[in-house]
Amino acid sequence: MLGLSSCRKDDVCTAGGTPKLGLAFYDYNLPDTPKTIDDLTLIALPQSDTILKNEAAIQLEIALNVNADTSTFVFVNNQNPDTLQFNYDRELVFVSKSCGYKCFFNNLNISITPDADIWIKQITILKNNIQNDTIHVQIFH
């Protein structure tokens, strides 16, 4: 009982952490229509970590690299890979003693590596500052 009474309010972290990048997929020919990707594989580079494997997705949240100003992912749709590089400025924000810091990502910019068969037709950045969990980017295919 004595041990519990010594805890202070900020000894337990209840605040949210670093926000994830929110992506939503849309039909290129009908831009207001969400469009599911039936066979999506997502690979984080450079370690080639598989985030998703052959899954259906209409929205997706991915964690950006908090230790670098860039994150690169390969989006594979029906065995057709497209590589996207996400560039940003990092801003560390102190949350509390128990939570520590979280990272905001500002000035988001996205580039796609050209190849012979790009299935991602257009990318629209809705919010270039990632400071909460919401949809930040639309991908049209």
pLDDT of 78 reads 93
Nearest to 41 by CA among 72, 67, 77, 8: 77
pLDDT of 16 reads 80
pLDDT of 108 reads 98
Q: How confident is the model at residue 84 (pLDDT cuts 50, 70, 90)?
A: very high
Q: How confident is the model at residue 99 (pLDDT cuts 50, 70, 90)?
A: confident
Digit-coded pLDDT (tens) for 19-31: 999 999 999 999 9
Contact of 34 with 54, CB cutoff 8 Å: no
Q: Residue 27 is encoded by which pair of tokens?
A: 């039909």
* Torsion sign (Cα): 102, 105, 111, 117: positive
Query: Mean pLDDT across the stretch 57-67?
Result: 96
Query: Mean pLDDT across the stretch 97-102?
Result: 89
- What ranges in the chain are assigned the alpha helix state H? 2-5
